[in-house]
Amino acid sequence: MVRKRIIPCLDVLDGKTVKGVNFINLREMGDPVEMGRYYAEQGADELVYLDISASYEGRGTFRSLVSRIAKGINIPFTVGGGISSADDASALLDSGADKVSVNTSALENPDLIDKIASKFGSQFIVVAVDALERDGLWQVMKKGGRYAANRELFEWSEEACSRGAGEILFTSVGHDGTRGGFACSTLSLLSSMLPVPVIASGGAGNMSHFAQVFSDGKADAALAASVFHSGEIPVPVLKKWLDSQGINVRI
């Protein structure tokens, strides 16, 4: 049986890890390399780093940071934010990232998925899909969940997989930040219909939510930020508890 993965997410602005709500009132949390090393030592399975400035001017800084991260940790990590070409992906992979994540750029140019997958392999590309439930339909959102895209969650996720996505990172915009649990019923449908692993994001508030997203939601991995950064849910405590609940995790 494939082990379920626990993935802390770190938002990076100008080379520093930050935390806020909808990118407002951002507070510096610490050095991304040191935080990554800490999570690796605590037993996290992977990490996700998102460049939330994603500006052209900041690209060199972020690539330098990715190189530092690669030298400082011994677990896989994914980087995302502002990747709009295969060359962008190549630069980050060459700097030491294990995978790249694309979101808005893939919605606006779906061929980007094909190009990255064909050049580097599907195992290197994660397609992040942010979606908001409206009147029973899941509307895909872009630009950090701020604007609606003319796509639906299930059909866009299927297309992304057909174009070469190796994983789908699904964030329920309505659940994100609520700490009320993941969108498990939707995740279950998504996981059952897609041929690739699904990473759940949005709604983590306690350890039971993680157990539920793996059992009921059938997610392959669960991603969270604030509950880990705040120390409310230490990764080793979570994994030992999940193991006691019969969830197959790496201890």
pLDDT tens by residue, 20-32: 554 445 566 678 9
Residue of 17, 35, 215, 7 lying closest to 101 (CA atoms)? 7
Bridge partner list, 148: 141
C-alpha gyration radius of the chain: 17
Residue pair 168/190 in contact by the 8 Å Cβ criterion: yes
Locate 62 and state its tokens: 């972020």
* Residue 36, burial from CB neighbour count under 10 angstroms (0-12, 13-18, 19+): buried
Residue 24 falls inside a structural domain = yes
Structure confidence by residue, pLDDT tens digits, 57-70: 446 668 889 999 99
11 given a catalytic annotation: yes
Residue 57 lies in a domain: yes
- Determine the Cα angle at 52 with ends 94 and 132, to 5°: 115
Residue 251 belongs to some domain of the structure? no
Count how many Cα atoms sit within 13 Å of the Cα of residue 223 in the half-sphere of its side chain: 23
Q: Which of 51, 88, 130, 220 is catalytic?
A: 130
Residue 249 is assigned to a structural domain of this protein: no
Predicted pLDDT at 148: 85
Residue 21's CATH number: 3.20.20.70
22 falls within a domain: yes
| β-pair type (47-51, 24-30) | unpaired
C-alpha–C-alpha distance, residues 203 and 213, integer Å: 10
Q: Which residues of the chain have pLDDT under 50?
A: 22-24, 55-58
Q: Quick check: is 88 in a domain?
A: yes
* Total domain count, the chain: 1
Give residue 94's domain range.
Answer: 5-244
SS (H, E, C) the chain: CCCEEEEEEEEEECCEEEEEECCEEEEEEECHHHHHHHHHHHCCCCEEEEECCCCCCCHHHHHHHHHHHHHHCCCCEEEECCCCCHHHHHHHHHCCCCEEEECHHHHHCCHHHHHHHHHHCHHHEEEEEEEEEECCEEEEEECCCCEEEEEEHHHHHHHHHHHCCCEEEEEECCCCCCCCCCCHHHHHHHHHHCCCCEEEECCCCCHHHHHHHHHCCCCCEEEECHHHHCCCCCHHHHHHHHHHCCCCECC
Q: Using a cut of 0.85, tell me whether the model's pTM lies above it.
A: yes
Task: Work out the widest C-alpha separation in the chain, in whole angstroms.
Answer: 47
* Residue type for position 201: S
Residue 130 annotated in active site: yes
Query: Which residues are CB-neighbours of 136 under 8 A, at least 6 positions away?
Result: none
Per the residue annotation, which of 11, 45, 51, 176 is the catalytic one?
11
pLDDT at 54: 60
Strand-pair category, 16-21 with 24-30: antiparallel
Residue (of 10, 18, 90) closest to 47 by Cα position: 10
Residue 250: inside a domain: no
Does residue 220 belong to any structural domain of this protein? yes
User: What is the reported pLDDT for 76?
Assistant: 98
